[in-house]
Structure 1
Amino acid sequence: MAIVRVKGFAIWRDRKPPYKWRCRHRKSGTMIDLAKFPLGGMTFFAECARIVALGDKADEPRPGTLGQLIARYRASVFFTDLAARTRADYQRCFDYLQPIADTMLDRFTAPLVVTIRDKAAAKHGRRFGNYVKTVLALTFAWGVERGYLTINPAAKIKGIRRPRGLADPNRPWADTEREAVEAALPAHMRLPVALMMYCGLDPQDALKIPPTAVSDGMIDARRGKTGEAMWFPLPAPVVAALVAAPKHDAITLCANSFGKPWTPSGFRASWRPIRQELEKTGAIQPGLTLKGLRHTVATILAEMGYDERTIADMLGQKTIEMARHYSKRANKTRKMSAVVTSFDAEVNRRRTKIVKPA
């Protein structure tokens, strides 16, 4: 029998007698009766087309539902113009919401959104629960502007607060920790870490920037998540890392030990044993993350007295809110020393003498 292949269908023959041929639609799991629709015949292909058409029809969201709103939002420029990473983050939320895609929009209320947020947090963590709430609010806002809803039921709902006493995620690195990590890194990992450590690049941005992003001692790139331009002279440690980096022909500035572009998961897999070994020896403290290097850059700049707008420009942020978040733990001793000195002099000069009434 001639080999027959149909996209979306699995066709195989039993390994044991009577060695019957079988066919299954992969997506729906529907089996085709090959005794009724002989394999390779006109009736067989017609039956395949019928099953595919039924599946396509079932995939169409019902009018007036959350699924329809999400489908139309995803088709709009407000979604397609987002950075690839942001679209992927949104899609994770949409995938999570798929079981309730048939819910009519007029059924969504603030209490229902809170319930959805809390269930997402219980299953995948507080941050994911809050992100689902945020994505719902943005999608509903888009729908309100186009008449799909009259109000945004997620507009005024707050996120779940971090538990008191919980360690800050992506904390800044101490100077001793940065020195210990730099000394422990193999040659092919030093350049990407230097870009994170001294330029404040997000780990994924550091791994994917092209060689053309660096020239004449300058870095000229865009942050993947926001699309904001990042253009400034390269710090001396990055220049040194560029000179010492192993030569390769990869399409990215940084490459792994095989001379191929890094993948985020591959870099994390290489970084994990280094971090674990340094933790065992006490060279670094637990909780060190590559993302924390952005916080480190912001913290150092804040300690130097730079304003939040400058820090945001360095990190490729559109607004100062994340710069404020990143640098909130900065030790502002240098900045406040003059204030405290002036305050102390004023108190001692005019306010320590008690004047008694006559």
Structure 2
Amino acid sequence: MPRVKLKGLNIRRNKAGTWYVSLRATGKLLLSAKCEREQLDAMMAGPDFLHAYSTAERKRRREYAAGTFGALAERWREGRSFKALKPRTQSDYAKVLLFLDRAYDYSAADIETADVVEMRDLAAELKGDKFSDFVIAVISAVFRDALEAGLMKDNPAKGVRRLYKANKDANRRWTEDEWSKAYAISPAHLRAVLAIARHCGLRGQDIARLTWENYRPDPDMGKVLAFRPQKNGDKVGEIAIGVPAELRSLLDAMKAGDGTVQPASNAPICRNSLGKAYPTENAMRKAWQDFKASDAFKSALPGSSDLTLHGLRVTFASELRESGFTDREVADMLGDMSEGMGKRYSRGAEMRKTSVRVFKRRAGNSQ
């Protein structure tokens, strides 16, 4: 049977053999099935799938009358503020917009705070408290954009209480025993990911994007990871984290390649089990989750199923604080911002001074 040729589809298959077919423009999942490709093509040619596809396309292309919530939502999605969001946030908010489709025909002027609360509670019931917070954030952003454009007189989502409460132990600090055992049995494709998070405290989204150009010689610290963080990078600029001996040994061996050919400067430092760049931070986290689900991990660390990659960043920061560095110095090393940071000048120069000071003290303590 010839393959179905419909525009705008994202067709992918995971390692377990399950196919996922979604609308590329919105991310809406249309079909999932564990089967061979020929069977998938047969299902995609069937009336159920074609109906789901046409319905999703019709909703995507639908035009909403002026003054409706749908018209305001579409205006916001096509505007500068939405496009300035990080890709992961855009993806999360796109799912919220699909959920809010049920309210798109409502007159925006008639929507009151009680209506927003009702939508929040429905989202919490169907998809959980965290998703309900995203719903409030999106509704508020839509109305804020309309308010600035003179299309609304107030923002009915302003002040609506969030329901989600983060678990304070969700990204807990690793113990030294957990680190040594997990790293010792970790697969080769995760070693650099774990070591960079542990020894330099980088966020997952930055680790996934590092290339060999980011690993550079430095006159004060020997070798550094120099990069512009995705979060706050437009404000803090490029930061340089000194690479301690254990991590440097690993990275130098990787940089040497096969002894004849070294990786190109634009090649990714961290690669998946197939030797390819992690396409997203989520893909990298999936590799970590797969490792945690392995028999080797469960056997070596039976009580550590709650360990996270971000917990290694917490571990890095905690050890800096215990070494006597100030909150400001720790924030500089993490590329974070403080309340008064906007008032400070020469931020990049200050952060480099901190990085050199931290590197030298850490190196001295390890001897």
Q: TM-score range by the shorter chain?
A: 0.5 to 0.7
Residue 82 of structure 2 corresponds to 79
Following superposition of structure 1 onto structure 2, how do residues 285-300 of structure 1 map, counting pairs within 5 Å?
285-300=304-319
CA–CA separation in structure 2 for the residues paired with 1:315 and 1:113: 36
Deviation, 1:205, is 2.1
- Which blocks of at least 5 consecutive residues in structure 2 are unaligned? 10-49, 218-222, 258-262, 341-367
Instruction: Give the direction of change, closer, same or farther, for the CA distance of 1:94–1:6 in structure 2 (3 Å limit).
Output: closer
Cα 1:75–1:112 shift into 2, 3 Å? same
| C-alpha deviation, 1:269, in angstroms | 4.2
Could you tell me which residue of structure 2 aligns to residue 123 of structure 1? 126
The worse-fitting range, judged by mean Cα deviation, of 133-142 and 172-181 is: 133-142
Partner of 2:227: 221
Alpha-carbon separation, structure 1, partners of 2:68 and 2:61 = 14
1:28 matched to 2:54: yes
Post-superposition CA distance 1:145-164 (Å, at most 9, x none): 2112211112212211539x
Q: Tell me which residue corresponds to 1:112.
A: 115
CA drift at 1:261: 0.9
Change (3 A) 1:27 1:320: same
| Structure number with larger C-alpha Rg | 1
Cα distance between partner residues in 1 of 2:7 and 2:99:
27
Q: Which residue does 2:67 correspond to in 1?
A: 64
Q: Is the 8 A contact 1:198 1:297 kept in 2?
A: yes
C-alpha distance in structure 1 between counterparts of 2:170 and 2:129, whole Å = 12
1:191 Cα shift? 0.9
Deviation of the 1:25 alpha carbon = 8.9
Matches of 2:311 and 2:170 in 1, distance apart? 8
Residues of 2 paired with 1:60 and 1:102: CA distance?
Answer: 10
Distance 2:52 2:117 in 1: 36
SS in 1 for 2:191: helix
**Structure 2 residue aligned with 1:241, among 242, 250, 253?**
250
Range that drifts further, 206-215 or 85-94: 85-94
CA shift in 2, pair 1:281/1:7, >3 Å: closer
Where do 1:159-198 residues align within 5 Å?
159-160=162-163, 162=165, 168-198=169-199
- Paired position in structure 2 for 1:253: 269
Measured at CA, do residues 274 and 284 of structure 1 come closer, stay the same or move farther in structure 2, by a change above 3 Å? farther
> How far apart are residue 117 of structure 1 and its match?
1.8
Q: 1:158 to 1:309 in 2, by over 3 A?
A: farther
2:103 aligned partner = 100
In 1, the alpha carbon distance for the partners of 2:275 and 2:60 equals 47
**C-alpha separation between the residues in 2 aligned to 1:7 and 1:160?**
39
Check the 8 A contact 2:181/2:301 in 1, yes or no: no
Q: Cα distance 1:137–1:314, how it changes in 2: closer, same or farther (>3 A)?
A: farther
1:143 counterpart = 2:146: yes
Letter of the 2:159 partner, please give it: K
Aligned residues of 1:190 and 1:245 also touching (Cα < 8 A) = no
The alignment yields a C-alpha RMSD, in angstroms, of: 3.3
Superposed counterparts of 1:17-56, under 5 Å: 27-28=53-54
After superposition, the Cα gap between the structure-2 partners of 1:267 and 1:78, relative to the gap in structure 1 and judged at 3 Å, is closer
Q: Describe the SS at the equivalent of 1:232.
A: strand
**Can you give the 5+ residue segments of structure 1 that lack an aligned partner in the other structure?**
10-23, 30-51, 322-358
Q: Could you tell me the TM-score, scaled by structure 1's length? A: 0.67
Higher relative contact order (CA 8 A, sep 6+): 2
Partner of 1:208: 209
C-alpha spacing 1:8/1:139, structure 2 compared with 1 (3 Å): closer
| TM-score, structure 2 normalization | 0.65
Structure 2: how far apart are the matches of 1:318 and 1:303?
A: 20
CA contact (8 A) 1:8 1:26 kept: no
Q: Deviations over 1:270-303 (max 9, x none)?
A: 3234324434444652311112222222333333
